């Protein structure tokens, strides 16, 4: 009888250049998917998602203080639209939400 070794892909660690909060988002996204779901070819998109998520958080915090800042609100709308597109590209949205966006 021969032994069979089944290798399970390791969950890739966040790149070292990400901030601690961006790395936290990276880990959360990785944990939400099956091991091996994301290959290295998609890491730049995932990095952009992590960065954009934090940008949206910072803008939202500023808007809570200054709700009348129309310029910031417009930038926030653009950033959240970008975050949504990145989430869609990464397949992070529930299936029915993806279908609603397409149709």
Q: Which range, 9-13, 64-68, 93-97, has the best average confidence (pLDDT)? A: 64-68
Q: How far is CA 31 from CA 14, 43, 92, 93, 95, in A?
A: 12, 15, 12, 15, 18
Q: Is the pLDDT of residue 88 over 80?
A: yes
Query: What pLDDT score was predicted for residue 98?
Result: 47
How many alpha carbons fall within 13 Å on the CB side of residue 67? 1
Q: What is the pTM of this model?
A: 0.81
Helix (H) or strand (E) holding 37: none
Per residue in 14-46, pLDDT tens? 999 999 999 999 999 999 998 888 999 999 999
Q: How far is CA 60 from CA 2, 5, 32, 101, in A?
A: 58, 48, 24, 23
Neighbours of 82 (CB within 10 A): 15
Domain edges within the chain: 42-98
């Amino acid at each position: 009888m021969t032994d069979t070794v089944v290798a399970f892909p390791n969950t890739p660690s966040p790149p070292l250049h990400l901030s601690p909060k961006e790395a936290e988002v990276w880990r959360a996204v990785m944990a939400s998917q099956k091991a091996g779901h994301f290959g290295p070819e998609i890491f730049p998109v995932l990095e952009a998602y992590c960065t954009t998520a934090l940008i949206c958080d910072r803008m939202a915090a500023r808007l809570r203080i200054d709700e009348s800042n129309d310029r910031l609100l417009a930038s926030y709308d653009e950033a959240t639209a970008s975050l949504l597109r990145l989430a869609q590209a990464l397949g992070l949205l529930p299936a029915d939400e993806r279908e609603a966006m397409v149709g």
